[in-house]
Amino acid sequence: MTSRHDRELALRRDLVEAGHMVELPLRGLSAFTQTFEEVLTGVERLVHEMQPTEDVTVISFPPLLTQPVFEKTGYLDSFPQLIGSVDVFTGDGREHKAMVGAKNSGEDWTTHLVPARLDLLSAPCHQTYPLHAGTRLERSVTYETGNRCFRHEPSDDPMRLVSFRMREKVCIGTPEQAQAHREIGRRVGPDLLTSIGLQIEEVPANDPFFGRAAKIFAAGQRDAGLKVEFECKVYGEDQPGTALGSSNYHNDHFGLDFDITTADGELAHSSCIGFGLERVTVALFATHGMEVPSWPAPVRTRLGLDAQG
Ligand code: ATP
Ligand code: ZN
Ligand code: MG
């Protein structure tokens, strides 16, 4: 029987041989070509059309957080294994010469760089909380935002990338409002995925906390029902499923960190529902085959792939 790893390599090979994906010379970094991008655009539109659609602010951000904001997200505390940050060159001509010299002689030239105090974004919703830092919300706010996310988890699995796109809807408000948003997500998230012919199971989940307390944090998150994932068994019924999206209730985590309150003076709560756009697209190719013209007609229509007839 083929191992999980063999199946991941086989799916990657199929995507490459079909011309949908181009491997770059680092594990977890890939490029994608036109047909793949057309499917991904269709997925992104479905996320946009997914409820809630009223009073939602669509907004796009850079894929970087300033260091003070990054520190407040708590990502460094909980997931240091995934983070990445930017270094820049601020030296003079002499230092430039030394850096080029180091590069040309095969030495480590990065020692000539200094931290830019910019951190790579890990989740699009992290950009939304600072918009309301230190404020009292008179009513809840809901955002739709997508971004390139960085997570240092290099893998041969074409579903697990170091740089990938995620699109999310995020609500910040009272506990009731944040929970209601989460419930909408749990209802419409699986519907979105099954409407494009994917077999989805909603499962309780936890984030990959780091270090000795990881088990405790993970169990706490699961027991409180804070995270559910929409999983697809891309590698077979006998294998663990892969999360194509997730619905997350953060309690007052971001309200506390960013000092956001609601009209009653209590800390704001938040929730988000997000989809990995490459992941959903790869799951579509794994499910329906590498040739888009032979996909079921309703799936093509729903993804807007029939424009040319
Ligand atoms: P996993 O358990 O597979 O690591 P996750 O719990 O880290 O997923 P979330 O943080 O909930 O994922 O992110 C939302 C979505 O973003 C996931 O459901 C998935 O579709 C996508 N995603 C997360 N990490 C990656 C990755 N490394 N490569 C591609 N897509 C990803
Ligand atoms: Zn989020
Ligand atoms: Mg993960």
> How do residues 29-86 score in pLDDT, each as one tens digit?
999 999 999 999 999 999 999 999 999 999 999 999 999 999 999 999 999 999 999 9
CA distance 289 to 30: 19
**Helix-, strand-, coil-residue percentages of the chain, each rounded to 5:** 40, 25, 35
What's the whole-number mean pLDDT along residues 173-184? 97
Average pLDDT for the chain: 96
What's the whole-number mean pLDDT along residues 245-267? 97
User: Which of 221 and 64 is assigned the larger pLDDT?
Assistant: 64
Name the closest ligand to CA 161: 1
pLDDT at 309: 45
Confidence check: pLDDT of 298 > 60: yes
Residue whose CB lies within 8 A of the most ligand 1 atoms, among 21, 47, 125, 151, for a mutation test: 151
pLDDT at 307: 66
**What ipTM did this prediction achieve?**
0.98
| Architecture (CATH level 2) of domain 4-83+122-302 | 2-Layer Sandwich (3.30)
Which helix (H) or strand (E) covers residue 94, if one does?
helix 93-104
Q: How far is the CA of 125 from the centre of ligand 2 (A)?
A: 4
DSSP assignment string, 175-221: HHHHHHHHHHHHHHHHHHHHTTT---EEEE------STTHHHHHHHH
CATH 3.30.930.10 segments of the chain: 4-83+122-302
Ligand 1 pocket, residues with Cβ under 6 angstroms? 151, 153, 160-161, 164, 166, 207, 229, 243-246, 274-276, 278-279
- CA Rg value for the chain: 21
What's the whole-number mean pLDDT along residues 126-131? 98
Name the band, by pLDDT with cuts 50, 70 and 90, for residue 286: very high
What's the whole-number mean pLDDT along residues 295-306? 97
Q: How far is the CA of 90 from the centre of ligand 3 (A)?
A: 34
pLDDT at 308: 54
pLDDT at 5: 97
